[in-house]
Chain A
Amino acid sequence: MKLMPCPLNGPRNISEFACAGEVAELRDPADCDDTSWAEHVIFSNNTAGVVREWWFHTPTSYWFIAERNTVTDEILRTYPAGEVFKARFDYAAAKDEGGK
């Protein structure tokens, strides 16, 4: 069984996890046309090489980020999402900008 090093629980069988796709920066909805918004929502980059992905440990409902080489399927590093996302997204500010 392939092992995934979970930042909370340590090495576990990869069957305990679900992959939720690439970590993508949220586009600014106020400054983004329909085509690029649709690309952001629907398409993935499908990079051949090292990517950052969202992973989920099902028994603990724990989300984290993994750096994985999609060519060799090696998991290089995993860390809590809090290392990247340090502040909550301010929906109120984004909404105000969009309404102007």
Chain B
Amino acid sequence: MTDPAQHTRRSPVYRKLVAAGATFREAADGAVAATVPGAPRPLGLADLSVLPRLGYKGPGALAALATVGVPVPEANNTALAMPGGGLVARLADSEALLLGDPTGTGDPLAAYGALHGAGCYAMPRRDSHAWFTLAGDRAADCLAKLCGVDLRPHRFADGAIAQTSLARMNGILIRDDRGGALAYHILADSASAPYLWDCLIDAMAEYDGGPVGLDDLASFASAE
């Protein structure tokens, strides 16, 4: 078993996953929880915080991304799949966020790491934000307890983004279904990530939810 503490890059919630008995595997330059005892569950929360992600901001950010072949969405607060895995999320006219492949294999962002200049500035989203994925049919019901935005599937389409207050923290929510199963990426301040993790685990309890590993997330797609 890989020990997450042997890597310099660690998730802000890795101790909670160690306490839950998770089995870790190498991913990117850290270790992710691959499986957690109790999985599969009807509602699962996975920690993707060590996986690659990049942010770009500035008046020339979207144009710079388009010139290197990133499929920039037409409208603000929408996300599109990237070739080779991962997502590009358009947060504003002057800001985008690239998420790496959520299965933790390969790094589709490696080609885009050096964009800088001409009104395009790189943001260290991998250090500033934690990244969780909440998956399961009751995910929207669970988030309704923490968030004022209507995230129900018929109101909040696949690929939609809400930048809003989540458990009184500022967060970015991106709907990214897995196979046919409802799933949301949650990005929020890394320093407060253990608090948010506890809030989500508490909110999930009534739906028989709990922590799952990255490899357990695949079961949500195959269950359909």
Chain A interface residues (CB < 8 Å from chain B): 1, 8-9, 12-13, 15-16, 57-60, 62
Q: Are A13 and B148 in contact (CB under 8 A)?
A: yes
Residue from A8, A16, A62 within 8 A of B165 (CB atoms)? A16
A62 to B91, CA, bound (A): 11
Q: Are A12 and B148 in contact (CB under 8 A)?
A: yes
- Distance (whole angstroms) from the CB of A44 to the closest CB of chain B: 27
B128 at the binding interface (Cβ < 8 Å)? no
B27 at the binding interface (Cβ < 8 Å)? no
When C-beta atoms are compared, the residue in chain B nearest to A12 turns out to be B164
Most buried by B among A8, A9, A12, A58: A9
Asked, given contacts A8-B76, A9-B77, whether A59 binds B163 with beta carbons under 8 Å apart, the answer is yes
A9 to B90, CA, bound (A): 12
Mask of B196-222 contacts with A, CB within 8 angstroms, 1/0: 000000000000000000000000000
* Contacting residues, chain B, for A58 (C-beta < 8 A): 165, 170
Q: Are B164 and A8 in contact (CB under 8 A)?
A: no
Chain B interface residues (CB < 8 Å from chain A): 76-77, 91-92, 148-149, 162-165, 170-172
Given pairs A57-B163, A59-B172, 4 additional interface contacts (CB within 8 A): A9-B162, A9-B164, A16-B165, A62-B92
A13 to B149, CA, bound (A): 9
Most buried by B among A12, A58, A59, A62: A59
A36 to B92, CA, bound (A): 37
12 A-B contacts, Cβ less than 8 Å apart? A8-B76, A8-B92, A9-B162, A9-B164, A12-B164, A13-B148, A15-B165, A16-B164, A59-B163, A59-B164, A59-B165, A59-B172
